[in-house]
Amino acid sequence: MDNNDNSITSRNNTIFIIRLLVAAVLLLLCLTQLIFTFKGLSQAEAMDQAQIARQMARGEGFTTKNLAPFDVVLRAKTSEEELDFNNYRATAYAPLHPTILAMAIRAAGYHNFAENRMTPDFEMVYDGDRVIATVSTVFFLLALLFSYILFSKLFDEILATSVVLLLGFSKLMLNYAVSGLAQPMLMCLFIGAAFCVCAAIQADQKNKNKQVFLYNALAFFMIIIMCFTSRICVWCFIGLTVFSGIYFKPKGMQAIIGVVMGIILFMIPTAILLQPGGGLSGVFQQAFYGGFGAGGVEQMMRSTDEFSLNINSTNFFLRLLGAAFAQSSSVYVNMGSIIVTPFFLLSLFNRYRNPIVNALKWVIFSCWLSSCIGMAIFGVTAVMDVSQISVIFAPFFAAYGMSLVFIFLSRLQMAENFVTMRNLAIVVIVVISSGKFLFEFPRELQMGIITSARGIPHFPPYYPNKLNGELHDITNPNDIIVTDQPWAVAWYADRKALWLPTRISSYTNDLEPAFRRAGLQVQGFLITPSSHSMQSGGLSGVIHRSGEFAPLALEGKILQLVPKHNLALAELFNTHGDSQRNARTLASVVSSQGQFPHRNFLLGAEMIYYSRNPGK
């Protein structure tokens, strides 16, 4: 008996030491990312939400300095009063994540822009970015902790530890951890929803109907909170509704309860919040053009006339099906290249002894499948995107995938070597899944240590120092800057910024008058590598993205190639091919004889600010 007690104590001590080691390694890894290898924010949506959060931290409400042409014109048409661009309501994002960011910004003091300026021509990474990244890192670590607790209960501690290691050493997961995006927070909330669903399933096994109702209602509530964090999580809500309606008895009752909760707690408040930007119909319109517009949602938001937008209407349902299939076939990549994640689909055919484990896999599958359809409609294709929510399913896909590997090993009739084979399998799977991270991290760490004082920015296209310093100094806070990266100007320069429209007539006939009626004016044009160095397809790609402002976008590149000639390409475009067009020419707007005659080279020809007056 004493030997058994000693064996159990020794095993518990070993498990405790392993827990501490794993926790310490992952914590150290995340701190290293924030301190040494962090390059600043790279996602436009992260910067955009950060500047909204700063507005909230200042007590200015859920407002934004990032303006989209389509939104400005829509509000100008529908509003009975003149637009107040000093109090311009943000409608592009759900409010919860910016609210959390606002708390962090306020606590760190970064709501005061003047006191936290970057050192001119020295600091390359804005410390405010680290504040934003710290928030997502904290949620990522919490997601790892919650994953460990959940899968320890559903499976065992060995599998739970394996999942935590797979997530913690995944390059994509670590990128999300410092991205400033809401995915780590969504992962925490979704794991919380899974806890509630498991409790509801357990109560259903014991025929405790009141507890089923309570726990399932809590699960719906957690998903609703996710929807207030990112609206695309509505598709997760649909998935949970389908599962609840089929699984719990009486059939359909739990689904009806969920729908009622969704309408009261989410749809009605969201419709009110979205009213300045066209309400729920505006969100659906953006979703439609994102998935089926010829130029995507970007071309829509940079336009001022919805009737001029082209719809790719050929084979509508085939393209929708193809996009949904593309999402489902990219499981491996979208979930961090964790090698066991595709095995989740095989686990659907395996019947687990634990009824909770067996039922939960169908919850996850239902939510994931409906999310794939939603992302297909929104046109989400990037692995890292504000609307890419496949990543929140990664812990579950990895857990069920690992369980299938362990089941396979247990059936090899090698009982005496099972523990050794299992441990070897864990090591091999972790090493293969984290191969990209393990290969790149030493070099990134070395470069991070060497340049830790200055940092390495995400250039191209972002160079925070010049926006935070020189651009802020030569502009005023009241008027508008037209630029190809308004989110960066709003966050780093703390200036109102309008997304560069695709047509000159949109600027001269629609946007300028709207600003003028509000007592504002455009003070300059900023062209960055977002226009001329980040487009695929070479020259045709630049022309497609920049539209009629393409000569302005190309001017910097030409100056880089032939700097001695000092060519002003925009000056060549001083006439219209169509004499009937009621709009000024590009040269009349931006040239030596135009509205903005002075060129300020913020970063050589890479970043040019065209202004009314010469810079300081």
Tell me whether residue 533 is in a domain: yes
Count of domains observed in the chain:
2
Q: Which residues is 527 bridged to in the sheet?
A: 608
Q: Which pLDDT band holds residue 580 (cuts at 50, 70, 90)?
A: very low
Q: Are residues 524 and 402 in the same domain?
A: no
Residue 455: predicted pLDDT: 83
pLDDT tens digits, 266-309: 999 998 888 776 666 666 666 666 555 555 678 888 888 765 55
The domain boundary residue, chosen from 406, 422, 448: 448
pLDDT tens digits, 384-395: 999 999 999 999
The answer to whether the beta carbons of residues 401 and 332 sit under 8 Å apart is no
* Residue % of the chain over a pLDDT of 70: 87
Residues spanned by the domain of 383: 132-273+314-448
Tell me whether residue 517 is in a domain: yes
Q: Are residues 442 and 468 in the same domain?
A: no
Tell me whether residue 49 is in a domain: no
Q: Are residues 523 and 593 in the same domain?
A: yes
Q: Are residues 265 and 411 in the same domain?
A: yes
Q: Output the CA angle 49-38-172, nearest 5 degrees.
A: 75
- Which stretch of 15-24, 190-199, 407-416, 572-581 has the lowest confidence by average pLDDT? 572-581
Tell me whether residue 68 is in a domain: no
Q: Which pLDDT band holds residue 579 (cuts at 50, 70, 90)?
A: very low
Q: Are residues 322 and 204 in the same domain?
A: yes
HEC profile of 31-43: HHHHHHHCCCCCC
Closest by Cα among 34, 44, 45, 84 to 514: 84
Closest by Cα among 229, 233, 165 to 429: 165
The domain boundary residue, chosen from 386, 416, 448: 448
d(CA 288, CA 281): 10
Structure tokens at 446: 């070395």
105 Cβ contact list (under 8 Å, min separation 6): 50, 53, 54, 57, 111, 128, 131, 132
* pLDDT average, residue stretch 226-243: 96
The domain boundary residue, chosen from 448, 473, 490: 448
Q: Which pLDDT band holds residue 604 (cuts at 50, 70, 90)?
A: confident
Q: Which pLDDT band holds residue 321 (cuts at 50, 70, 90)?
A: low
Q: Are residues 428 and 472 in the same domain?
A: no
Tell me whether residue 185 is in a domain: yes
Q: Are residues 374 and 490 in the same domain?
A: no
- The DSSP result for 365-403, as a single string, is HHHHHHHHHHHHHHT---SS-TT--GGGGHHHHHHHHHH
Q: Look up tokens 């080691």; give the residue.
A: 21
CA-based torsion, 62, 63, 69, 72: positive or negative: positive
Q: Are residues 238 and 368 in the same domain?
A: yes
User: Could you give the C-alpha distances from 549 to 74, 274, 308, 482, 575, in angstroms and in order?
Assistant: 22, 31, 17, 11, 14
Structure tokens at 281: 């119909």
**From the CB of residue 368, how many other CB atoms can be counted at a distance below 10 Å?**
24
Residue 584: predicted pLDDT: 79
The chain-wide mean pLDDT, for the chain, equals 88
Tell me whether residue 221 is in a domain: yes
The answer to whether the beta carbons of residues 360 and 196 sit under 8 Å apart is no
* pLDDT average, residue stretch 575-596: 72
d(CA 362, CA 365): 5
Residue 440: predicted pLDDT: 87
Q: Are residues 220 and 355 in the same domain?
A: yes
Q: What is the pTM of this model?
A: 0.93
User: Could you give the C-alpha distances from 131 to 3, 31, 582, in angstroms and in order?
Assistant: 52, 13, 47
User: Could you give the C-alpha distances from 395 to 190, 313, 568, in angstroms and in order?
Assistant: 10, 37, 54
Q: Are residues 430 and 569 in the same domain?
A: no
d(CA 97, CA 389): 15
Is 76's pLDDT higher than 50? yes
* pLDDT average, residue stretch 369-385: 85
Residue 9: predicted pLDDT: 72
Tell me whether residue 471 is in a domain: yes
pLDDT tens digits, 82-126: 888 999 999 989 999 999 999 999 999 999 999 999 998 889 999
Tell me whether residue 416 is in a domain: yes
Q: Which pLDDT band holds residue 347 (cuts at 50, 70, 90)?
A: very high
Q: Are residues 375 and 488 in the same domain?
A: no
- Residue 609: φ, ψ to 5°: -110, 115
* pLDDT average, residue stretch 535-544: 76
Q: Are residues 598 and 504 in the same domain?
A: yes
